[in-house]
């Protein structure tokens, strides 16, 4: 305070006093009457704290603000709260804790919105990290880590628009909600002795968000909704996926996350020429598939050594044969060509259309 640095939550009277002291140090109040000083001081503070009101959207689901807030929410390690709020009603429509601001976190929020409300019209987000991954480091970007493309590709399949901004005031609702959550949720998690991320997510989704909406949000049921009908669980699972281009190697395998996999169809190994391009799909539930030549195949892990020897392990039971795996149709957005087009569009900054 002595150095002129005040708390962001300091009272208005203190702000006026500090502003007056600052103007006196700068000799801007010399030969001024008390009335003139009062006008100048109030004017300076008003400019600093100016938050012009804006009109809210008309419909529920028209604009959904999303943001991540890194904070010491629980335990002794910082986590990121991914939050989504409807701009018309301030109704929190999704929330999820992850250790960093990640695609996984925003996928969980998106999944909650799709299941509970339907397909939103538009997301409004900041212009960094998840939604604009390593824009300044083009040489470090890889397709499986390019979250801008991944999230953009998924929301485009559902028809949700994406609007990003670098001005925090443009999404002031979610910024204010983050502040309220930091004031209230941290203490509630502490009072309930919650120290793990799984416990925190359960409390957040089942207890805190419903309570928050009851206390602070408008009743969304009184607003006309523009949410589209919720998609099926299957479509959500296969659309909120992580897509990664790969190539078949000389051993008819592909490497994904330092593990080798091979394509199977109806329990039979399928072989392809080396350097054949393919698209690895990790579905929302963790299942792995691969698209090759506009066809979807099951991926099976290639072990470095057999787990059972017919020569020497006869005393043990042989491993059970895997059951036939459900293969979704190619109508899901898993075509390599369309994903490549999205990749190019994202890097040309056309993804927000």
Give me the pLDDT at residue 120, please. Answer: 95
Average the pLDDT over each of 18-22, 263-267, 313-317 and give the range with the smallest value: 313-317
Which residue from 292, 291, 287 is spatially nearest to 332, judged by alpha carbons?
291
Vertex 176: Cα angle to 175 and 177 (nearest 5): 90
Confirm if 240 and 154 have CB atoms less than 8 A apart.
Answer: yes
Cα-Cα-Cα-Cα torsion 337, 339, 341, 344, nearest 10 degrees, comes to -140
Q: Is the pLDDT of residue 141 over 80?
A: no
pLDDT digits 0-9 by tens, 227-251: 999 999 988 988 898 888 899 999 9
Structure tokens at 228: 């589209």
The CATH homologous superfamily to which domain 64-235 belongs is Ribonuclease H-like superfamily/Ribonuclease H (3.30.420.10)
Confirm if 122 and 261 have CB atoms less than 8 A apart.
Answer: no
Alpha-carbon dihedral sign for residues 160, 161, 162, 163 = negative
Give the C-alpha separation, 71 to 344, whole Å.
34
Q: In this structure, are strands 122-126 and 64-71 parallel, antiparallel, or unpaired? A: parallel
Mean pLDDT, residues 108-125: 94
Q: Is the pLDDT of residue 45 over 70?
A: no
pLDDT digits 0-9 by tens, 188-227: 999 999 999 999 999 999 999 999 999 999 999 999 999 9
Average the pLDDT over each of 91-95, 249-253, 300-304 and give the range with the smallest value: 300-304
Give me the pLDDT at residue 26, please. Answer: 79
Quote the pTM value. 0.74
């Amino acid at each position: 305070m002595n150095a002129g640095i005040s708390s962001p939550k300091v009272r208005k009277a203190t702000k006026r006093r500090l502003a007056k002291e600052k103007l006196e140090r700068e000799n801007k109040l010399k030969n001024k009457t008390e009335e003139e000083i009062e006008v100048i001081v109030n004017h300076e503070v008003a400019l600093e704290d100016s938050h012009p009101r804006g009109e809210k959207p008309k419909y529920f689901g028209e604009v959904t603000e999303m943001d991540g807030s890194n904070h010491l929410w629980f335990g002794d390690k910082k986590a990121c709260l991914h939050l989504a709020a409807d701009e018309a009603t301030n109704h929190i429509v999704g929330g999820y804790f992850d250790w960093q601001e990640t695609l996984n976190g925003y996928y969980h929020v998106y999944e909650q919105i799709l299941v509970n409300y339907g397909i939103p019209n538009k997301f409004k987000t900041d212009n960094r990290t998840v939604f604009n991954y390593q824009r300044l480091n083009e040489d470090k970007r890889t397709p499986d880590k390019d979250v801008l493309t991944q999230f953009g590709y998924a929301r485009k399949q559902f028809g949700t628009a994406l609007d990003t901004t670098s001005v925090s005031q443009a999404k002031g609702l979610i910024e204010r909600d983050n502040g309220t959550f930091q004031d209230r949720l941290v203490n509630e998690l502490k009072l309930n002795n919650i120290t793990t991320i799984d416990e925190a997510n359960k409390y957040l989704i089942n207890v805190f968000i419903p309570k928050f909406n009851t206390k602070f949000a408008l009743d969304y049921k009184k607003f006309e909704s523009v949410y589209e009908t919720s998609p099926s669980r299957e479509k959500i699972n296969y659309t909120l996926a992580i897509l990664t281009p790969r190539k078949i190697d000389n051993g008819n395998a592909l490497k994904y996350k330092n593990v080798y996999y091979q394509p199977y169809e109806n329990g039979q190994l399928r072989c392809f020429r080396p350097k054949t391009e393919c698209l690895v799909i990790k579905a929302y539930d963790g299942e792995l598939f691969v698209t090759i030549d506009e066809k979807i195949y099951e991926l099976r892990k290639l072990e470095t050594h057999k787990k059972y020897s017919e020569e020497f392990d006869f005393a043990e039971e042989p491993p059970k044969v895997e059951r036939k795996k459900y293969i979704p149709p190619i109508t899901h957005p898993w075509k390599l060509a369309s994903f490549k087009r999205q990749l190019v569009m994202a890097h040309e900054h056309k993804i927000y259309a």
